Copies of this chain bind each other. A is one copy, B any other.
Amino acid sequence: MKIGFLQFEPLFCQVESNLDKLSSMIEKAPDFDLLVLPELANSGYVFSSKSELVKASEIIPDGIFVEKLSEITKSRNSVIVCGICEKKGADFYNSSVLIGPDGFIGKYQKIHLFDREKLFFQPGNGPLISYEVKGMKIGMLVCFDWIFPEATRVLALEGIDILAHSANLVLPYSQTVMLARSIENRIFTITSNRTGTEKNGGIELTFTGQSQITSPKMELLASTGVDTEEIKIVEIDIELARNKWLNERNNVLLDRRSKMYSKLLK
């Protein structure tokens, strides 16, 4: 199984240009089964008004991003996860879409919004579920969801092999924490982060790249620089993520003492 990330710099509110760039990068990429793209890949990140969101967002699955990415996944018999600025009625969601060889499969609406995202997006309601496609069980999270161990854990309990983590990270913590998410759940994780600096309405953010892939054994399988634009694909043995046994007596999911965790739901 070949899985990877695409790291690039989306340009703010330049939806068509972003789509052209992604398409061109993917066209040149080697074979892959699953490719993860950054958060808000259609729109960019530093919003200062709702009118910008109106301009840069799309309805899922009827927008041009999902349409074009579906063409790609159909022609390449592959799966893509991509962060999308979603418009739904009068509301906006920081979403991720899963698109397979037969087109659109499902979406995830980010449940833990970061900082000023709370000014523009509605908090999503997931769902935190596993999608099975091309022999892979895939779960989606977006960026700041990384800090809540519960989110990845729920997906692991739902059966995912691979966490597709689309991100627009500015801080340097997620990469280390994803190693923990990998081993504590015995899953692969793919973090696709963006690069570049955006300045708008008095706010300036620099995104820190360093996209990466981690294994159930807490290995860093691939990573890239802070400002490179590239696709990296690695070959994995997905069975590794289906064996939750650490040794003959310990299983990371079956050994959970859930009766002692009731505080988690309060």
A-side interface residues toward B, CB under 8 Å? 111-112, 114-116, 118, 123, 125-126, 128, 144, 147-151, 153-154, 157-158, 173, 176-177, 179-181, 183-184, 218, 246-250, 252, 255-266
Are B266 and A258 neighbours in the complex by a CB distance under 8 Å? yes
| Contact between chains at A177 and B184 (CB < 8 Å) | yes
B255 touches A265 (CB 8 A): no
Is B257 a contact of A265 with CB atoms below 8 Å? no
Q: A149-B150, A258-B265 are in contact. List 16 more A-B contacts (CB 8 A).
A: A112-B255, A114-B249, A115-B247, A115-B248, A118-B249, A126-B260, A128-B260, A148-B255, A150-B153, A150-B256, A150-B264, A153-B261, A177-B180, A261-B265, A264-B264, A265-B265
Q: How many copies does the complex hold?
A: 2
Nearest residue (CB) in B for A147 is B184
Point out the residues of chain B lying under 8 angstroms from A266, CB to CB.
157, 258
How many angstroms between the C-alpha atoms of A184 and B146 in the bound complex?
9
Within 8 Å by CB of A179, from B150, B176, B249, lies B176
Nearest chain B CB to A240's CB is how many angstroms away? 15
- B264–A153 touching, CB < 8 Å: yes
**Complex CA–CA separation, A168 to B54 (angstroms):** 56
In the complex the two chains form, what is the Cα distance from A218 to B173 in whole Å?
A: 8
Q: Which of chain B's residues has its CB closest to A154's CB?
A: B263
Q: Assess whether B261 is in contact with A150, with CB atoms less than 8 Å apart.
A: yes
